[in-house]
Amino acid sequence: MRSLTLDGTVGSDPEDRKLAGIETFSEDAVRLTERLDTFWSMPTNRTGPLLAALVLSACAPEVERLTPVGDVQELMIAVIEPAAEVYWDAVGEILDSAGVHEIRPASDEEWEAVSHAAFLVAESGNLLMMSGRARDRGDWTTMSQALIEVGREALKAADARNSEAVFDAGAEIYYVCSECHAKYAAETLRPNDARGN
């Protein structure tokens, strides 16, 4: 895909796009820009800079306008942990002197709560990558994206009302969470987890 360079010309060089702060343009925007090149190159044309500004403003990527309400710890306490706990507690087995007791959602409302929890876990990956929360654009982003992916799988399992798949997806959520905590919040790991020691 081609881009508009800082001087108003169309180019395909990735550095031009980076300098202009523009990732890509639609083909329509490129055609419009090519047509306007005629006007920009005319020495007597006084509207060139105005047209260039209009084209640039119409094609520029939208600036992020999201403002976090809380920090990472508040997001963990208010959103991620409660959602993960609902998901993890939805299925399982308890063995006692009376035998094995299976824990499974028993109603439409209970399955819906499990689906909602999975949805919150998945969307939390996006919330963790917001400016003001993201610790870096390397491992933090990779782990946040992994949370989105396992959250999607958890949602599929819950929507399918598949208890075994919910159990397995819960394990994947735990794995992604604990890997992130091992790197960024080792103090939150269980005492017997060697990664925190």
63-115 pLDDT per residue, tens? 667 889 999 999 999 999 999 999 999 999 999 999 999 999 999 999 999 99
Higher pLDDT, 193 or 155: 155
The angle, 0 to 180 degrees and rounded to 10, between the axes of the packed helices 163-184 and 139-159 is 170
Q: Are residues 54 and 78 in the same domain?
A: no
| Number of folded domains that form the chain | 2
Q: Are residues 98 and 172 in the same domain?
A: yes
User: Per-residue pLDDT tens for 7-47?
Assistant: 444 444 555 444 444 444 455 555 555 555 554 455 555 55
pLDDT score for 16: 47
Residue 115's domain spans which residues? 72-196
Q: Are residues 54 and 91 in the same domain?
A: no
179-196 CB burial, b ≥16 within 10 A, e <16: bbbbeeeeeeeeeeeeee
Is 51 part of any domain? yes
Q: Are residues 108 and 170 in the same domain?
A: yes
pLDDT score for 33: 56
| Residue 153, pLDDT above cutoff 60 | yes
pLDDT score for 144: 98
Which two tokens mark 16?
């031009």
User: Per-residue pLDDT tens for 185-197?
Assistant: 988 877 777 766 5
Is 66 part of any domain? no
| Residue 152, pLDDT above cutoff 70 | yes
